[in-house]
């Protein structure tokens, strides 16, 4: 009987998803990602961060999304855009360089790198505007510059956010990503959860507000999904290990069509960022990806029917 009920639930869920998928064609026309390096859930919730706290209250939130291992920057920022972890992508540490000899990815694009969300947007939406502005200079090496229309480095977090805001208002991109690095600097220099670390999160919050203002100024607020993501947390003055403080990170989804004040139940992994973006735009994803879209964040989509299978 339990098997029959589970099968019926799966069928119902599939039907709901199919209906919602039809609606989701016009759910969002733009996706803007703001990545905050070293942002922990504990730090986000404790810091004076009214903008992001408002996004949590008015959007969908996962407090303990999971990093890939190691909990270092390159492995996790790459997982977000490559849709898989280091064992698939070959980006196993911060020592990874695009032209050096490393572990071969499971699947490769035409330049020998693991396929990214930027690749599939360019392949399936060749006229789409997409871009990135990054504060950590090494972030740029994780991308293929030729895949984006806009590729820009900001020397400070303030400069990076300002350049990103200008890009949004000027180009109204289909997909764009901002990387901010200063919170990670505070964690390394002063220690995670210190007053200085929390102050750095407050500064990030003001920059998030600046980006939201640019989205509104561009006239795309009603059709934009905003995602706040992080690469890792930290403990004491470091990260890279397996402690909860290092591997649990926040994810916020905000925009018209996102469930309001919703706490996501399903597990969320670092690499799910890529599939979620692909889902919004109705794109076919590479078979090599382990990424899955976080559909439960959006109106019309329930939590997975098999969420508690094996847990009772």
Domain boundary assignment for the chain:
37-297
Structural fold of domain 37-297: Alkaline Phosphatase, subunit A (3.40.720)
Give the per-residue pLDDT at 14. Answer: 46
Cα separation, 97 vs 85, whole angstroms: 16
The DSSP H or E segment spanning 226 is strand 224-229
> Which of the residues in the chain have pLDDT under 70?
1-26
Predicted pLDDT of residue 205: 98
The answer to whether the CB of 99 falls within 8 A of the CB of 106 is no
The two structure tokens encoding residue 20: 């919602």
pLDDT of residue 197: 98
Query: Looking at residue 4, what is its pLDDT?
Result: 47
The per-residue pLDDT for 34 is 98
Residue 148's pLDDT is what? Answer: 96
Cα 205 to the center of its chain, rounded Å: 16
What is the reported pLDDT for 224? Answer: 98
According to the model, what pLDDT value does residue 153 have? 97
Which residues lie across from 66 on neighbouring strands?
A: 248, 269
The per-residue pLDDT for 112 is 85
Computed on alpha carbons and rounded to an integer, the radius of gyration of the chain in Å comes to 19
């Amino acid at each position: 009987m339990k098997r029959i009920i589970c099968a019926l639930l799966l069928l119902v869920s599939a039907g709901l998803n199919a209906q919602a998928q039809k609606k989701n064609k016009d759910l969002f026309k733009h996706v803007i990602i703001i990545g905050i390096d070293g942002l922990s859930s504990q730090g986000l919730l404790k810091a004076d961060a009214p903008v992001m706290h408002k996004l949590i209250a008015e959007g969908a939130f996962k407090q303990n999304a999971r990093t890939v291992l190691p909990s270092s920057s390159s492995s996790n920022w790459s997982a977000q855009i490559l849709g898989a972890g280091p064992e698939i992508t070959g980006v196993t540490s911060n020592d990874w360089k695009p032209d050096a000899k490393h572990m071969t990815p499971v699947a490769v694009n035409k330049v020998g790198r693991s396929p990214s969300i930027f690749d599939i947007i360019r392949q399936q939406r060749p006229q789409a505007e997409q871009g990135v502005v990054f504060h950590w200079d090494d972030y740029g090496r994780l991308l293929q510059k030729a895949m984006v229309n806009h590729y820009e480095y900001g020397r400070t977090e303030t400069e990076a956010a300002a350049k990103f805001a200008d890009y949004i208002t000027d180009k109204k991109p289909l997909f764009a990503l901002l990387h901010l690095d200063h919170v990670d600097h505070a964690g390394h220099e002063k220690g995670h959860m210190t007053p200085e670390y929390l102050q750095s999160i407050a500064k990030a919050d003001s920059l998030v507000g600046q980006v939201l203002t640019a989205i509104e100024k561009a006239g795309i607020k009603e059709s934009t999904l905003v995602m706040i993501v992080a690469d890792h947390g930290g403990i004491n003055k470091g990260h890279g290990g397996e402690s909860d403080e290092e591997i649990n990170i926040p994810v916020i989804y905000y925009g018209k069509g996102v469930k309001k004040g919703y706490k996501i139940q399903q597990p969320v992994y670092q690499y799910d960022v890529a599939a979620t973006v692909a889902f919004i735009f109705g794109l076919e994803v590479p078979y090599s990806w382990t990424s899955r879209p976080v559909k439960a964040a959006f109106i019309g989509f329930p939590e997975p029917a098999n969420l508690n299978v094996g847990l009772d």
